[in-house]
Amino acid sequence: MSDPANEALEDYVNNPFGTLHLKGVRIGRMTIDELIVCGREAAINTQEILGTAFERTRRISTGKNGTRYPEPLPVATPARLLSVEIKDHLGDMERRCLQPDTIESTARTLKLLKMTCGNIPVSRIDHKHMYQLWDLLRWAPPGLTASPDFTTLCYTDVIADGKRLDVPPPAPATLEKHRRFLVSFFNQMVRTRAIPASPMDAFSEIKKDLVVDPNKPERLFDEQDLQRIFAHERYMAWARQHPHRWWAPMIGLYTGARINEVSQLKVADILQECGMWCIAFRKTVDADLAHNTRVRSRQSLKGRAAVRTIPIPQPLLDAGFLDFLADMKECGHPRLFPHLSAGVNKKTGQTNARYSQGLLAQFGVYLKGLGFAKGVGFHAFRHTFATELHHQGIADEDIALVTGHSVSKKVPVLHEAYFHKKPAVARTKQTRVLESYRPPVDLPVYKQGQFKGALGAWAKFYP
CATH number at residue 298: 1.10.443
| Residue 69 host element (H or E) | strand 68-69
Residue 32 in 3-state DSSP? strand
Please report which confidence band the pLDDT of residue 339 belongs to, taking 50, 70 and 90 as the band edges: very high
Both 65 and 95 in one domain: the answer is no
Strand 270-273 versus strand 68-69 pairing type? unpaired
Q: Computed over its alpha carbons, how large is the radius of gyration of the chain?
A: 30
Q: Cα 67 to the chain's mean position, in Å?
A: 57
For the stretch 380-392, pLDDT in tens is: 999 999 999 999 9
**How many Å apart are CA 141 and CA 161, to the nearest integer?**
7
d(C-alpha 299, C-alpha 310), whole Å: 18
Distance CA 244, CA 309 (A): 20
Same-domain status, 99 and 171: yes
SS3 for 116? helix
Q: What is the 3-state secondary structure (H, E, C) of 285-330?
A: CCHHHCCCCCCCCCCCCCCHHHCEEEECCHHHHHCCHHHHHHHHHH
At residue 62, the pLDDT reads 44
For residues 226, 340, 263, 283, the Cα torsion angle rounded to the nearest 10 degrees is 180
400, 252: one domain: yes
Domain end position, chosen among 172, 202, 232: 202
Contact 294, 96 (CB under 8 A): no
d(CA 108, CA 178): 9
The pLDDT tens digits of the residues spanning 189-226 come to 999 999 999 999 999 998 877 777 777 777 899 999 99
What value does the mean pLDDT take over residues 274-286?
95
pLDDT at 419: 45
Whole-model pTM: value is 0.74
Q: Which residues contact 446 (CB under 8 A, 6 or more apart)?
A: 246, 247, 319, 320, 321, 323, 324
Rounded distance between C-alpha atoms, residue 373 and residue 357, angstroms: 19
Number of domains in the chain: 3
Would you say residue 215 lies in a domain?
no
Distance CA 142, CA 165 (A): 10
Residue 59 has pLDDT above 90, yes or no: no
With respect to residue 209, please indicate whether it lies within any of the assigned structural domains. Answer: no
- Rounded alpha-carbon distances, angstroms, from residue 196 to 38, 206, 327: 30, 25, 62
Domain termination residue (choose one: 171, 202, 233): 202
Per-residue pLDDT tens for 238-254? 999 999 999 999 999 99
Q: Are 100 and 117 in contact (CB under 8 A)?
A: no
Those residues with Cβ within 8 angstroms of residue 349's Cβ, 6 or more apart along the chain or in another chain:
none
In-domain check, residue 32: yes
Neighbours of 60 (CB within 10 A): 9
Q: Is residue 74 part of a domain?
A: no
Res 268: pLDDT:
97
Q: 314 and 435 in one domain?
A: yes
Q: Which helix (H) or strand (E) holds 49?
A: helix 40-57
Which stretches does DSSP call E strand in 159-289?
270-273, 276-281
pLDDT tens by residue, 90-142: 999 988 888 888 898 999 999 999 989 888 899 989 999 999 999 999 999 88
Helix (H) or strand (E) holding 24: strand 19-27
CA angle 271, 277, 279 (to 5 degrees): 60
Looking at the structure, tell me whether residues 425 and 395 fall in a common domain. Answer: yes
> Which band of pLDDT confidence, cut at 50, 70 and 90, is reported for residue 409?
low
76 in any annotated domain: no
Q: Are 351 and 342 in contact (CB under 8 A)?
A: yes
Q: What percent of the chain has pLDDT over 70?
A: 90
- Residue 432 falls inside a structural domain: yes
Both 105 and 198 in one domain: the answer is: yes
Please, what is the Cα angle at 225 between 221 and 228, to 5 degrees? 150
Instruction: State yes or no: pLDDT of 27 exceeds 70.
Output: yes
Asked if residue 370 lies in contact with residue 229, where contact means CB atoms within 8 angstroms, the answer is yes
Taking a C-beta distance cutoff of 8 angstroms, is the pair 235, 444 a contact?
Answer: yes
- 452, 326: one domain: yes
CB atoms within 10 A of CB 107: 18
Residue type, 400: A
Answer yes or no: are the C-beta atoms of 37 and 22 closer than 8 Å: yes
The answer to whether the CB of 310 falls within 8 A of the CB of 255 is: yes
Quote the crossing angle between the two packed helices 100-117 and 82-95, to the nearest 10°. Answer: 170
Are 285 and 375 members of one domain?
yes
- Pair (244, 341) in one structural domain: yes
* 423 Cβ contact partners less than 8 Å away, ≥ 6 residues apart: 273, 274, 309
Q: Both 159 and 242 in a single domain?
A: no
CA–CA dist 138, 170 (Å, integer):
6
Q: 3-state class of 278 per DSSP?
A: strand
Triad 443, 449, 453: Cα angle to 5°: 110
Q: Of 173, 202, 231, which closes a domain?
A: 202
Q: Are residues 284 and 163 in the same domain?
A: no
Give a yes or no: residue 211 inside a domain: no
Residue 77 has pLDDT above 70, yes or no: no
**How wide is the angle at C-alpha 359 spanned by C-alphas 357 and 365, nearest 5°?**
105
Among candidate residues 107, 131, 154, the one with its CA nearest the CA of residue 345: 107
- Are 303 and 363 part of one and the same domain? yes
* Contact (CB, 8 A) for 136 and 159: yes
Domain enclosing residue 445, as ranges = 223-460
Does some domain include residue 75?
no
Cα–Cα distance, 85 to 103 (Å, whole number): 14
